[in-house]
């Protein structure tokens, strides 16, 4: 579907997967005016196809659009794009535990010009790809590299938007993480508070059962995190959204105040953090059972194995 400042949203269509034709002067190629989302479609045992809290992705795409001076796609158009893709490509939604169809909505500036200003011609696309189980052979704790040289976002920056530039900025620190034998990178903000991983939010489980998660204007508000925390609240856990310094993290683990640390996001759902490594230290992280129990509960809802008490599922077929 296309957008222009004069015509608004127009020309919705479904077409076979293939290359996009763009002017070499298309604004997205030079200034990165681009946003995206990540969401999955799940096949239930009865064959029906569902997605999880898609309105939240639609609203987050709108917030990203505002920050990146792109037009806001109406929530209904977003949902319709998911339904229409499933109507033609529903067969691609795999069945089987932890299998899904990954849906990638994205929007970019396609107007051709070289000045720096918001584009007046924009395109919204939705593509999809089957995704196998993220963890083959069981969920295993990951080792995290603490990025001290690089930031992902800053105050007033684009950290809370799902825009390509944030991910471009995370590639070098992520490569550093691999070099250091780690799986993922964790970023701090300029005050030394924990932000998030390259593509997942962080949650700490305290000894008294409270779940604490970093909150700031530069963190991407994860839908998985929000859902996991809601399930924890249902079980009677307290939840705190507040700044968490690196010192609090390290001291909390050393003293036993923090009993579990995990990361969460659409792709892996929940993954325990088994170690935190930096240039000067390596701290083993305590692991427990809460992260995995919450993961199980959330995936049971997504795959229709337990009742969806919060009304989080939206049926996409039929
Ligand atoms: N933080 C970042 C930077 C991400 O890219 C993602 C993945 N979208 C998340 C957190 C987790 O968000 P969600 O649970 O909505 O997938």
pLDDT digits (tens, 9 = 90+) for 231-273: 999 999 999 999 999 999 999 999 999 999 999 999 999 999 9
What number does the ligand 1 atom closest to the CA of 220 have?
A: 1
For 201-223, what is the mean pLDDT? 97
User: Cα–Cα distance between 177 and 248 in angstroms, integer?
Assistant: 22
What number does the ligand 1 atom closest to the CA of 219 have?
A: 1
Instruction: Catalogue all structural domains in the chain, each as residue range(s) with its CATH number.
Output: 2-133 (3.30.470.10), 142-287 (3.20.10.10)
Q: For atom 3 of ligand 1, which residue has the closest CA?
A: 199
pTM score, whole prediction: 0.96
- pLDDT for position 132: 87
What burial class does residue 125 get, using C-beta atoms within 10 Å of its C-beta: 0-12 exposed, 13-18 middle, 19+ buried? middle
User: Cα–Cα distance between 1 and 14 in angstroms, integer?
Assistant: 9
Report how far ligand 1's centroid is from the alpha carbon of 113 (Å).
32
Residue 266: count of CB within 10 angstroms of its CB: 21
From first CA to last CA, the distance across the chain in angstroms is 23
Residue 135: is its pLDDT beyond 90? no
Residue with tokens 């992260």: 291
Q: What angle do CA 298, 307, 128 make, to 5 degrees?
A: 50
Is the Cβ atom of 200 under 6 angstroms away from ligand 1?
Answer: yes
Residue 90: count of CB within 10 angstroms of its CB: 18
For the chain, what percentages of helix, strand and coil (3-state, to nearest 5) are there?
30, 30, 45
User: ipTM value of the model?
Assistant: 0.99
For 44-58, what is the mean pLDDT? 97
CA distances from residue 311 to 44, 53, 156, 226, 302 in whole angstroms, order as listed: 16, 8, 34, 14, 11
- pLDDT for position 75: 98
- pLDDT for position 134: 81
- pLDDT for position 314: 98
Q: What angle do CA 59, 64, 31 make, to 5 degrees?
A: 155
Is the Cβ atom of 160 under 6 angstroms away from ligand 1?
Answer: no
Residue 86 pLDDT grade (very low, low, confident, very high; cuts 50, 70, 90): very high
Helices (H) and strands (E) in the chain, counts: 7, 17
Ramachandran angles phi, psi of 292, nearest 5°:
-70, -35
Residue 254: count of CB within 10 angstroms of its CB: 10
DSSP string for residues in 185-236: EEEE-TTSBEEEESS-EEEEEETTS-EEE---TTS---HHHHHHHHHHHHTT
For 110-118, what is the mean pLDDT? 97
Helix (H) or strand (E) holding 290: helix 290-302
User: Cα–Cα distance between 219 and 182 in angstroms, integer?
Assistant: 22
């Amino acid at each position: 579907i296309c957008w222009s400042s004069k015509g608004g949203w127009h020309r919705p269509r479904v077409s076979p997967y293939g290359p996009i034709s763009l002017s070499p002067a298309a604004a997205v190629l030079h200034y990165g005016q681009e946003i995206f989302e990540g969401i999955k479609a799940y096949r239930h045992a009865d064959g029906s196809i569902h997605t999880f809290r898609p309105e939240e992705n639609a609203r987050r795409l709108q917030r990203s659009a505002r920050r990146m001076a792109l037009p806001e796609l109406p929530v209904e158009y977003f949902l319709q794009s998911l339904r229409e893709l499933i109507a033609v490509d529903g067969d691609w939604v795999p069945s089987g535990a932890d299998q899904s169809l990954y849906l990638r909505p994205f929007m970019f500036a396609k107007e051709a010009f070289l000045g720096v200003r918001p584009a007046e011609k924009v395109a919204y696309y939705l593509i999809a790809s089957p995704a196998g189980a993220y963890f083959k052979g069981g969920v295993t704790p990951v080792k995290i590299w603490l990025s001290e040289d690089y930031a992902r976002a800053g105050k007033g920056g684009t950290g809370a938007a799902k825009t390509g530039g944030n991910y471009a900025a995370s590639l070098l620190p992520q490569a550093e993480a691999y070099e250091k034998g780690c799986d993922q990178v964790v970023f701090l903000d300029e005050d030394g508070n924990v932000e998030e991983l390259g593509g997942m939010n962080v949650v700490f489980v305290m000894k008294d059962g409270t779940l604490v998660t970093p909150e700031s204007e530069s963190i991407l508000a994860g839908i998985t995190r929000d859902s996991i925390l809601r399930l924890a609240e249902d079980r009677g856990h307290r939840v705190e959204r507040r700044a968490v310094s690196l010192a609090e993290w390290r001291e909390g683990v050393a003293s036993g105040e923090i009993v579990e640390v995990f990361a969460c996001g659409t792709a892996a759902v929940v993954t325990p953090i088994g170690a935190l490594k930096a240039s000067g230290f390596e701290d083993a992280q305590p692991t427990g059972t809460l992260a995995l129990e919450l993961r199980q509960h959330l995936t049971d809802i997504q795959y229709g194995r337990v009742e969806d008490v919060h009304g989080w599922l939206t049926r996409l077929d039929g």
